[in-house]
Structure 1
Amino acid sequence: MKKFDIRKIRVRKVTVDELDDRMLLINLYMTQALTFIIGLIWVLFQRQSIIHLFHFPKELNVVWFGLGLAAVVLLVDLSISRFVPDEAADDGGVNDRIFRERPIWHIIVLSFVVSVCEELLFRGALQHAFGPYWTSIIFAAIHVRYLKHWIPTGLVFSISYGLGWIYIQTGSLWAPILAHFAIDMIMGFIIRFRREPKGQL
């Protein structure tokens, strides 16, 4: 029997273009599962109640804050995209690969999974420990594909701070989850149904 040698393991950077659709989805879901598990463990170490964190309040301010922030973010993002060249907001083609050929139901599922997993970790756990400012810096740093360009990095930081703010205002994790979900889903639909300019193949 051959002896396993850990020194023979080689790690290399893989671009999004090198991944087929199946591997891209596996990577995305595994990353979100890991995010959820880390968030869950962190919340439990903080002795917070998971049931209390995910309790949906009776007041509708959660909906208004969530959808209101989503509307503001989408308006700002769409306005910026009209005046800023594509290269300045390039994410390496990740969002395009994720959403371009995805069925509507899958865009909805992906957006929900991402919003729940990331908000549990960032708003539920990290913000509880570090506050909205440092949580937003970490959130922007985690979205590494944007770090080459200051405009999307600034936008991601601002969105994160906004998510943290509505969490503080409502006291409910469902407000940032709803905002995050709406932003990702609508941007996913825009990518999915965007028409290419005439003359391009």
Structure 2
Amino acid sequence: MIERIQLPTALADFGDAAIAAAIIVAYLVMAEPYVGFVLHRRFEAAARRFSDARRWLYRRLLLLEWVLAAFCVAVVVIATDVDLATIGLRLPEGPVAISVTVLAVGAAAVMLALTVRFVVRTDGVTQLPAGQSVLAMLPRSPVERRLFSIVSVSAGICEELIYRGFLIAFLAAVLPAAPLWICVLIAAVVFGLAHAYQGAVGVSTTLLVGFILGVLYLLTGSLLAPILVHALVDLRAIPLGRLLAPAAKTR
């Protein structure tokens, strides 16, 4: 479990990287929702005309996520009193943290297996409980499924590093008197707003998921469980995409 003393207690802990850290957080709060909204609206428009629109979107998501994650890591490396362990890049320690990690990852794996089973038993196209923006993203062809698997794993790694590891550490530094759950909640709100392109329901859902992943991070003291759970949840989109294009041609 993460204790308050393990996280930064002042922005000065970031040293010469404090301004860079603040710029990244400002981008996450103010610019990322807009960038995501514009990117997905362009994709939705292109998807009506071009068969490779989803691959175009997947490649840009990969670029954006890995570049932003790299900036966060660079800031931490430069920071005076903040290191990679401070943002959760360490293995869980102790029986409780390890047990919670195993249970959480196991539950996510079961969810993925149940999704695959549901798709296998479903004949033809079915109604999926998701917004139009989410449905448009689901991979249809074998090539798209392979690329989306990389996107899913990358989202697990990059988004957890950014929104759980880096952002919670920054919030702990600027809100030294606040309980850690407040930092987790604020980070979850920022994470939810980053999915504004999904509409109000999508923002609410990702906010809740972000809060759960943040609590999981606090309980285990490591990003390992949040990363694996996030990736497994996103990978569910691959079998679900088959329901939208059961007769898709191999490309």
Q: Provide the C-alpha distance between the structure 2 equivalents of 1:120 and 1:36, rounded to a whole number of angstroms.
A: 7
1:30 corresponds in structure 2 to 63
Q: Cα RMSD between the aligned structures?
A: 3.3
Aligned-pair identity in percent equals: 20
Q: Which amino acid aligns with 1:115?
A: G
Q: Is the 8 A contact 1:69 1:162 kept in 2?
A: no
1:75-120: CA deviation from partner (whole Å, max 9, x where unpaired) = 9xx9xxxxxx879723265422xx2224454333221111101110
Task: Report the counterpart of residue 48 of structure 1 in structure 2.
Answer: 82
Q: Does 1:190 align with 2:240?
A: yes
Structure-2 residue corresponding to 1:156? 206
Q: What's the CA shift string for 1:51-86, capped at 9, x where partnerless?
A: 6733333634312123436767999xx9xxxxxx87
| Partner Cα distance (2:46, 2:209) in 1 | 30
Q: Which moved more, 1:121-130 or 1:99-108?
A: 99-108
Find the aligned partners of 1:195 and 1:23 in 2 and give their Cα distance: 19
Per-residue deviation, 1:153 = 1.7
Q: Distance in 2 between matches of 1:100 and 1:121?
A: 29
TM-score of the superposition, structure 2-length normalised? Answer: 0.57
**Secondary structure, in 3 states, of the residue corresponding to 2:133?**
coil
Write the letter of the residue equivalent to 2:76: V
Q: Please tell me whether residue 95 in structure 1 is matched to residue 137 in structure 2.
A: yes
TM-score with structure 1 length normalisation? 0.69
Q: Helix, strand or coil for the counterpart of 2:236?
A: helix
Q: Deviations over 1:174-197 (max 9, x none)?
A: 111011011001223222x21569
How many residues end up aligned between the 2 structures? 173
CA distance in 2: counterparts of 1:141 and 1:74, whole angstroms: 29
Unmatched 5+ stretches in structure 2:
1-37, 119-126, 172-182, 247-251
Q: Match for residue 195 of structure 2?
A: 143
